[in-house]
Amino acid sequence: MHMQANAAGMVGAPPILNPANAAALQTGVPQGNNVVPFMHAIPSQMPIHPDVRLKKLAFYDVLGTLIKPSSLVPRNAQRIQEVPFYFTLTPQQATEIASNRDIRNSSKIEHAIQVQLRFCLLETSCDQEDCFPPSVSVKVNNKLCQLPNVIPTNRPNVEPKRPPRPVNVTSNVKLSPTVTNTITVQWCPDYTRSYCIAVYLVKKLTSAQLLQRMKQKGVKPADYTRALIKEKLTEDADCEIATTMLKVSLNCPLGKMKMSIPCRASTCSHLQCFDASLYLQMNERKPTWNCPVCDKPAVYDNLVIDGYFQEVLASNLLKPDDTEIQLHKDGSWSTHSLRNEGQVLDTPTKPVEKVEVISDDIELITTEDVKPVKSAPAAITASASEQPSSTTNSETVDLTLSDSDDDLPLAKRRPIAKQTTQAGAASSTMNGNGG
């Protein structure tokens, strides 16, 4: 008889009201010492099990539904309402929970298979996020459950809200197929909005498992990103100020270190990527699922590993200290690392100068068997261009400095050398004319 009495409640529906009492509640007829005003009448057409869909949680695989989404229906005119819901585990479910728990921590048992409680708005137009009713409290088998801490607010007459997260109630559940579990919900009704409760059996996942699933899903082809680069730079070509290249950082905006697995959301319009592992670890601790680049939603199902930037990071042409690349109109890329005295190296696909630093003020540039890709310093270039026929003079530079010159910055000494060279050239010309 006991099991038969609970059989109707196992789907999670609240106890059915007596038809006479239900009619009285809707019309405001006195019920004992309580009178329900018409404005607080219970909606007569509120479904017990509405067609509500809750948003999928990336770190949980749903193994079964213990209580399908059920309406929280006020039963009287009291400010605080209380409604019970019921469910019973199958033998297999009870065994799965019991055999997948970590008891190494004596103070708190960790369950890989969990009984998960969720609240949401009674809204059927789209998938619903977790949303707690006002002043809610939950008991499972008469044991109070710990809910997410309330977020403080300074706004007057605004009730603080709880973070939109599911609640793990496994520790209060009786792991027996012969015992019915009771969930008692207390809340303060909001007559402008209605709420639902749902209970699921889930398997908790880790960030490493989600990363492995991303890899198994595959990598976005490099040609796809290459086409996006061409498209973006072609669109800018029609503007008054055309963009000939794009700069992209190879460092993750989260960890500020070079990415290992570059990814981004397919819903984002930017090319900048972030590290997939760091992003998943961050959301494992505090799930926000917002893109660290544009701050728009970047849910797990929309994340893709970018094959183009994966090739860039794996390229032998990339130096360890290169943290930024340039993207060109044809879809190619190049590095633009800054070097001494503001010189910029060319793309790694071209020969690179071999530079041997002798002292702080002198650089010996070895050009043997290497074609120069950058011009020499300004003073030497100017001298060579003005005296193209004098090979010996273009290779000889007077590096003798006076004591007074030691206190001057190198940038200020160069124009003097350049003026001296020009003055020497002018003097040579005058002497030639005079001769």
Mean residue pLDDT across the chain: 76
The yes-or-no verdict on residue 435 having pLDDT over 90 is: no
- What is the Cβ-side half-sphere exposure of residue 390, based on CA atoms within 13 angstroms? 14
DSSP-derived 3-state class of residue 170: helix
Residue 247, phi then psi, degrees to nearest 5: -100, 130
Q: Which 8-state DSSP code applies to residue 177? A: T
Paired with 376 in beta bridges are: none
Residue 193, phi then psi, degrees to nearest 5: -140, 150
Q: Please, where in the chain does CATH 2.60.120.780 lie?
A: 2-205
The CATH T-level fold of domain 209-331 is: Herpes Virus-1 (3.30.40)
pLDDT at 425: 44
Q: Please, where in the chain does CATH 3.30.40.10 lie?
A: 209-331
pLDDT at 412: 45
The yes-or-no verdict on residue 349 having pLDDT over 70 is: no
pLDDT in tens, 130-183: 999 999 999 999 999 999 998 888 888 777 889 999 999 999 999 999 999 999
User: Do the beta carbons of residue 166 and residue 118 sit within 8 Å?
Assistant: yes
User: Do the beta carbons of residue 17 and residue 44 sit within 8 Å?
Assistant: no
Q: Is 173 exposed, middle or buried (0-12, 13-18, 19+ CB in 10 A)?
A: buried
**Where do the H-state alpha helices sit in 73-206?**
91-99
Paired with 355 in beta bridges are: 365
Paired with 364 in beta bridges are: 356
The yes-or-no verdict on residue 35 having pLDDT over 60 is: no
pLDDT in tens, 361-400: 444 455 455 454 444 444 333 333 444 444 444 444 454 4
pLDDT in tens, 109-134: 889 999 999 999 999 999 999 999 99
- The reply to whether CATH 3.30.390.50 applies to domain 2-205 is no
